[in-house]
Chain A
C-alpha cells in the first residue's frame, strides 16, 4: 500500500520536465522532495494530483491508477495544497477551512454534522480555531499558511501533498508549520509529501527523502542515506559537508 510512480514523463508544452521517473512513496510517513530550483519538484506534485497530464507512465494510488479516478473520488483520497493559493476577497478563516470539505459535501446540501466536526478538528490541529472569525487577508503570513494547512487537513484525505509549505516564512514559523505537519502525520496517520528548499529541515522532519535533478531521480530513502555529500553534489551541484545534528542526530548540511 503506497503511492507508486511508474516511469512517468510530464511536459509543459514541448519542454519535458519529468523524464521517465519511477518512485515509491511510503504510506503513513512524511516524505520530503528536495532538489534545485526547476528540477521538477512542483511539477511532480502537480502530476501526482492529476493537475497535469502524463505523457508516459502511470501513477497508482493504492492499486488504483490516478488517471482513471474521477476528480471528486480522487479528492477524497488525495489533496494538494499549491504554493500560492488564492484567498477570495473578504473570506473568513472558518469559511475557508470549510471549503476543504468540498469533495465530501452532498449536492445542494449545506455541510453536515460530520463536516463541521472535521472542520473543528482541522482548525484545532492547526491552531487557528481562535481566529475563526477573522478575515484571512488580515492575518500574518505564518497564520495564513496555518489556515491553508487547516483547510487541507479538513479535506481528510489519506494523502496530502504540500508544495513548499514553508516558503516566505521566517525560521520560527517554518518550524511551526513542519511540526504541525509531522504531528498530523503521526496522530491522524496521514501520508504527507512535501517539497522543501531547506535540506537540513527536510532531513530533520521527513522519514523519507527524495532527491531530484533535472526531472530525474538522484536518490531516495531515509534521510541519513540520502543526505550525503555525494548526493548533494549530484543533485544541487553543491559542495558541502554533512555532520550529525548535535541536537537531533539527523544530517546537518554545512555548505562550503
Chain B
C-alpha cells in the first residue's frame, strides 16, 4: 500500500518535473512528444534535455536509497549512512583531484568511480575481510575522514576558479546530465537492485546477530562481504554521475521503514523513497532557477531532513499513546 503510493508519487513528480522549466509544457505538449517522436515541437527540450536529467535523478536517488538501506541494516543502526563505508569520500577525492587538474565531464565521473573502488578495496583490506560490524564501521569512518582531509588539502592549495568547480561537484548536481549518465546509472542500478533483493534474506538474518545468523545457515562472512560490495558499487555508480548528493542514503531507509508495515529492511521501499527525494529536489532546483541553477544536493537536505524529523516525532508520539 505504502509502496504503491510512493510509486505514484514518483511518477507524478517525474511528470511535473518534465513539464516545469524556462518553458512550461502542458500534458498535451508532452503527449505530442510521445506520439510524434523526433518530429514534435518540444522533442529536443523533453528528450535531449529534461528526460535524461530526470532519469538520472531517479536512478541515482534509487541507488543512494538502496545503498543506505543496505548499510543501515548491515550496521544494525537506523542512522547509518552509506558515507560511513568511506566509498563516497574516496569517490570525491578522485573526482576533485581530476577537476583540479583541469578535467571536465565524463572523465571526472570516471575518477570518482576509481576513487570509490580504491576506497572499498582499502576498507576490505584494513578491516580484514568482513569481520565484526564495529570494526567495519570504524575502518570505514577512518577511510572517509582521511579521504576528506586529502580532498580539503587539495582544495586549499588549488586555484580559485577550479576550486569553485570542485566545490560545486562536491555538493552534487544534476545540471547538464545527459543520456550517457542516465544510461550509466540505470545500467548499474538494475542488476544491483536484483542482487540486493536476492541478498535481502541474508540481510534479515544478519540483523539477528552473527552467531544466530550463522546458526541459521547464513555464511556470515561471505554474506557481509557481498552486501558491502553491493552497497559500494551502488554508491560508486551514483556518485560518479551526480556527485556526492548528501542525505538521500541516510533518510531513505528510515522513511521507507516507517511507511512499511513489515519489520526489517525494506530495500525496494528505500530505493523508491530515495528516487522520490531526488526528483523532488530536482523539481525544486528547476522551480527556483530564476537566476542560478542551484545544485540538487542543497535541496535533498532541505527536503529530507524535516520529513525524517517529522516521521521520528510521529513514531515516538504514537508509542507514547500506546
Q: How far is the CB of B264 from chain A (nearest CB, A)?
A: 5
Whether A82 contacts B205 in the complex (CB less than 8 A), given A49-B214, A89-B263, A92-B263, comes out as no
Verify A99–B211 contact, CB threshold 8 A: no
Q: Which residue of A lies closest to B223 (CB)?
A: A71
Q: Which of B78, B208, B210, B262 touches A99 (beta carbons < 8 Å)?
A: B208
Contacts of A76 in B (CB 8 A): 217
Contact A84–B209 (Cβ < 8 Å): yes
**B263–A51 touching, CB < 8 Å:** no
The residue from B78, B198, B263 contacting A95, defined by CB atoms under 8 A apart: B263
Contact count band on A: 20 to 34
Closest Cβ of chain B to A101, distance in Å, is 9
Q: Mark B184-222, 1 if CB is under 8 A from A, else 0.
A: 000000000000001001001101111110111111000
Find out whether the CB atom of B264 lies under 8 angstroms from the CB atom of A91: yes
B42 at interface by CB-CB < 8 Å:
no
The answer for the CA separation of A155 and B214 in the assembled complex, in Å, is 13
Task: Kindly identify which residue among A74, A82, A103, A108 contacts B212, using a CB–CB cutoff of 8 Å.
Answer: A82
Asked if A165 is at the interface of the complex by the 8 Å CB criterion, the answer is: no
- The answer to whether A75 touches B217 (Cβ under 8 A) is yes
Report if A102 contacts B (CB, 8 A). Answer: yes
Number of chain B residues close to chain A: CB under 8 A: 22
A81 part of interface (Cβ distance < 8 Å)? yes
A172 part of interface (Cβ distance < 8 Å): no
Q: Which residues of chain B have C-beta atoms less than 8 A from A72's C-beta? A: 217
Instruction: Out of B76, B215, B264, name the residue touching A49 (CB < 8 Å).
Output: B215
**Does B216 lie within 8 Å of A91, measured CB to CB?**
no
Residues from chain A with a CB closer than 8 A to the CB of B219 are: 71
Question: Which of A79, A89, A102, A155 has the most C-beta atoms of chain B within 10 angstroms of its own C-beta?
Answer: A102
B209 near A85 with CB under 8 A, answer: yes
CB pair A82 B78 closer than 8 Å: no
Question: Known contacts being A49-B214, A80-B215, A102-B217, is A85 close to B208, with CB within 8 Å?
Answer: yes
- Residues of A229-247 at the interface with B, using a CB-CB cut-off of 8 Å, are none
User: Is A50 among interface residues, defined by CB-CB distance under 8 A?
Assistant: yes
Q: Please indicate the chain A residues that have their CB under 8 angstroms from the CB of B264 in the complex.
A: 88, 91, 95
Q: Which residues of A contact B214 (CB under 8 A)?
A: 49-51, 71
Chain B contacts with A in 264-297, Cβ cutoff 8 A: 264
Residues of A within 8 A of B198 (CB): 107-108
Does A113 sit at the interface, judged by CB under 8 A?
no
Q: Contact residues of A with B, CB < 8 Å?
A: 46, 49-51, 71-76, 78-82, 84-92, 95, 99-100, 102-103, 105, 107-108, 155
Those 5 A-B pairs whose CB atoms lie nearest each other, nearest first: A75-B217, A72-B217, A103-B217, A102-B216, A91-B263
Give B contacts to A, CB under 8 Å: 76, 78, 198, 201, 204-205, 207-212, 214-219, 257, 262-264
Besides the known contacts A51-B210, A95-B262, 14 further A-B residue pairs in the complex with CB atoms under 8 A apart: A46-B211, A71-B217, A72-B217, A75-B215, A75-B216, A78-B215, A80-B211, A85-B209, A86-B212, A88-B207, A88-B208, A95-B264, A99-B205, A102-B217
